[in-house]
Amino acid sequence: MNTLRLDATELGLDFNRALALSTSIARHHLGDDTMLLSWYDRERDLESPAGVSECHAGCATKGSWDYALNRGARLAVDFDAGRFTFCFL
């Protein structure tokens, strides 16, 4: 999976704006039929699908990342060193 790392601290993006920007980026790189497979919000310690990190307790890899990798994700957009991460197919 290719990962695009963005430093967007100066933009002051919240989760919803980061999601909108990452979706636009994914559509640019992967086409209009792109699909969001998983995401992680470090500030709120939330992820989707919910609970995928439960079996990764103590692991360096977040469950949302592993979930996306195992389902063929092609692009990850990582804002501010893991603040928000979105994985797309």
Rounded-to-integer distance, Cα 85 and Cα 76, Å: 7
Is the residue at 28 inside a domain? yes
Q: Across-strand partners of 6?
A: 79
Q: Residue 15: pLDDT above 80?
A: yes
Residue pair 88/15 in contact by the 8 Å Cβ criterion: no
**Structural domain range at position 36:** 2-52+71-81
Rounded-to-integer distance, Cα 80 and Cα 49, Å: 21
Digit-coded pLDDT (tens) for 24-33: 999 999 999 9
Digit-coded pLDDT (tens) for 45-66: 999 998 887 765 666 678 899 8
User: For residue 55, what pLDDT is reported?
Assistant: 63
Q: Looking at the whole model, is its pTM more than 0.85?
A: yes
pLDDT, averaged across the chain: 91
Is the residue at 88 inside a domain? no
Is the residue at 18 inside a domain? yes
Torsion angle of the four alpha carbons 77, 23, 49, 80, in this order, in degrees rounded to the nearest 10: 30
User: For residue 62, what pLDDT is reported?
Assistant: 80
